[in-house]
Structure 1
Amino acid sequence: MFWQEMSRPATTSSLKRKKTEPKSLSDALGDTDQRVLEVIKDTKDMGIWTRDIKNKMKLTDHVVTKSLKSLLAKKLIKEVVNIQNKARKHYMAVEFEPSKEVSGGAWYVEGKLDTKFINDLKNICMTIIGRQKVATFEGIYDLLKKVTKVECTEQHVGEILNSMLLENEIIEVKSTGWGEYHSFPVGTLCYRLGSGAGLGKGARVGAMASIPCGMCPRINQCTPDGVISPATCEYYKKWLSDLNF
């Protein structure tokens, strides 16, 4: 019967064949290819430049080039773009993904700066700040994580905001605790739109003197309607007066 034939024990000859069959493509490689593959694997997610392979193994250009072609054809290695030096061919074992040092991280795709992704993030940040009038880094970061599918770290968001500051698309301000700043403690670093779009009132960092609240030893007790508040603070009033607010 069919099921009996399928469950029949393997013969001695078939067992021998199974033992001699390679376990994987890498087991079927020649000595040179195997050694080149091991050298590439040793570099893990950093990859290795062709010239470094040749120097490390003391092989000729022809031998290494032939071996790399063979490994690529068997899909055991892949060519990756190293943003530190795009002119140099780098190779990596297929089981690894390029490190951020090699790939450039989230800002790069296949070795090219993803300007569309960067501009999209900038536009989202502009929208968040524009709608909220005043926004903190934490507020922007939390909303970005909700509306974008690409993983963004705090460092990424910080870099985006810094580039927007340099282009005067946004400005840094410190909360006064009044009006639009009522939900932020006095002295909290916030962002507003720049270039004349909804600048509002606030202490612009770098362009104006530092708000005295930042050096106040009782800042944690200061609230808009408390015993200690900007409304009764002589230092704060003088700071506003100096800024002609």
Structure 2
Amino acid sequence: MSALSDLLPPEAIRLDIRAADWKHAVRDAGDLLVATGTSTAAYTDEMIRNVEENGPYLVIAPGFAFAHARPSPAVRRTGMSWVRLAEPVDFGHETNDPVTLVVALAATDAAAHTAAMASLARLLGDPETSRALHEAPTPTALHAVLARQDDVRPVQQAAPAAPAQDRPAAPGMHKILTVCGNGVGTSLFLKNTLEQVLDRWKWSRFVTVEATDTISAKGKASEAVAILTSREIARTLGDVGVPVKVVEDFTSTTEVDGVLRDTYDV
């Protein structure tokens, strides 16, 4: 699996640029994917169409949009781009607008970038590192921050034990789905944040997490104890027979911790 700094070279980073609106911001991020040989312009159009069709669910944290679309022939290789805006733009998200950072992902499949997503989730969820990224004066300086994070591992913290009746009897018995429109971007991001919490609780051997798309989630819902997703995707899913939990900030282990406690009544 590729590291974050490998998928996001300095050439794919632009800082403090001006965009008229969210479409221009996504297009700027897409242009960097094209310039680095990661995708074609058709993929940029697909990212924009994804927002138009599914809403601003990809604004997964305050000020942060994670632009992506499904794997397609327009993706030449897995890679990312990073656009920091001089002035924020609105995507239409109820709680996380306005956006100052757009990270774009082009993926050939759902596996090659999982390590990079874990690194990105950790660094954006850490206030000190997030501030360093916001203040980085050049693409090279920002890339150096990303490279340092590739070797950082989350600190394990103890959590209160759950009541015995809430614990699965065997590894893998419980499953939680994280869901987005395409199953390779924001759902994987949320999966990584949830897994950080499960690691801290020492529950990783009891609860598995699967990232998937909205269509697949409806068929897999009966296998899960809960679904974690954005408000927009929750509306799309409707009643699937299991609790659907809304997460506003996909980078926040604190919020996801609270959702997990609510799910298991801890």
Q: Per the shorter chain, which TM-score range?
A: under 0.3
Give the alignment's TM-score, normalised by structure 2.
0.22
Structure 1 or 2: larger helix share? 1
Higher relative contact order (CA 8 A, sep 6+): 2
Larger Rg: 1
Structure 1 or 2: larger strand share? 2
Give the alignment's TM-score, normalised by structure 1.
0.23
